[in-house]
Amino acid sequence: MEVVIVEDAAAGGALVAEAVARLLARRPDALIGVATGSTPLPVYEALAAMARRGEADFSRARIAQLDEYAGLPPGHPECYRSVLARQVLEPLGIPADSFLGPDGSADDPAAACAAYERALAAAGGVDLQLLGIGTDGHIGFNEPCSSLSSRTRLKTLTERTRADNARFFGGDPGRVPRHVLTQGVGTILDARHLVLLATGEAKAQAVAATVEGPLTARCPSSALQLHPHATVVADEAAASRLELAAYFRSAFAAKPAWQGI
């Protein structure tokens, strides 16, 4: 696993956006897995700035959703499909039919999850999966003790995650859906490159557990240790509990710039 410690969220956003742009230069129709939450916003802002300056071409890019709330009506402003349309598709000019995601309003969630797994496989798999991290180490919505080989399925959120996400629902955890559809940990591990971005002191413990802790379903993000190409990008605050920070800094500093992450 590569760990890159950056000064702040903006620097992390720029670094990850650069990796996405390099991928698209190599493979214009790359399938990019996107995450929701506050953390990836600097990435999307940096990508939108590249699009405005004509530095990257997103016209053939394809986008895949990581997870979705269950039971919100289609078009609800906080369903992740709507959020990603606002934050990614529209600013980058990516057509809606290039957007894959699980149907959170389906009457049969298990069938919707299986259909999403088939769609991802038919699309050739995710080239680069952008991940955030929950304060409890969840990736996607794989809460602690999710199977490390899980596939896309219905999950129940912890009260901690509902409280963390209440800010998007008028501050009321009770309005955050209890159930979600999420790519499984095994599904996430199928992506060719995993890029986990973490910013802020609240993520420091989860980042340390991901990178230096034991491989355990108790901390689903520790599954990144199994992936042959996983990059953790953490700002100074999120990296503050890493015991091997000095090593990670020197390894990245010695890396040739052309190599990217």
Ligand X SMILES: N[C@@H]1[C@@H](O)[C@H](O)[C@@H](COP(=O)(O)O)O[C@@H]1O
Interface residues toward ligand X, by CB under 6 A: 35-39, 66-67, 132-134, 140-141, 161, 165
Closest CA to 100 of 118, 86, 76, 78: 118
Nearer to ligand X by Cβ, of 36 and 150: the residue is: 36
Nearer to ligand X by Cβ, of 35 and 126: the residue is: 35
Do you know the residue count of the chain?
261
Residues labelled catalytic: 67, 136, 138, 143
Nearer to ligand X by Cβ, of 24 and 66: the residue is: 66
- Helical spans, DSSP H, in the chain: 9-26, 41-52, 80-84, 90-92, 109-122, 159-164, 185-189, 204-212, 245-253
- Please give the C-alpha separations between residue 61 and each of 21, 37, 56, 89, 92, in angstroms, as whole numbers: 10, 21, 10, 10, 9
In whole angstroms, the minimum distance from the beta carbon of 35 to ligand X comes to: 4
In whole angstroms, the minimum distance from the beta carbon of 141 to ligand X comes to: 5
In whole angstroms, the minimum distance from the beta carbon of 133 to ligand X comes to: 5
In whole angstroms, the minimum distance from the beta carbon of 194 to ligand X comes to: 13
Bridge-based pairing of strands 62-65 and 153-156 is unpaired
Nearer to ligand X by Cβ, of 1 and 249: the residue is: 1
